[in-house]
Amino acid sequence: MPKQKTHKGIKKRFKLTASGKVKHRKAFRGHKLSHKSSKRRMQLRDDNVIVGTAAKKIAAALRPGA
C-alpha cells in the first residue's frame, strides 16, 4: 500500500497551530496596498483561524494517515 501524501496546495496556504487550529493568511494583502485605508490594512494584518467542517477537511489533508 503506498503512503498517503500531504496536499501540497493546502500545505502552502494553511498552517496548523500547536492546539490543532487551522490558520491562514487573509486575502487582499498581496499588492495594491497604497489605495487601501490604514484601518483596512491593519485589520488584514493578523492571520485568520478557520472553524467548522472546513477546518476538519484542511487538517485531514495536512495530516494524511493520522
Yes or no: say if 25 and 45 are a contact pair by the CB < 8 Å rule. no
Best CA proximity match to 15, nearest among 64, 65, 62:
62
* CA gap 36, 33 in Å, rounded: 5
The three cell numbers of residue 29 are: 494583502
Sign of the four-CA dihedral 30, 31, 32, 33: positive
* Cell 487551522 sits on residue: 22
Q: Could you list the pLDDT tens digit for every one of the 66 residues in the chain?
A: 888 899 999 999 999 999 999 999 999 999 999 999 999 999 999 999 999 999 999 999 998 877
Q: Is the pTM of this model over 0.85?
A: no
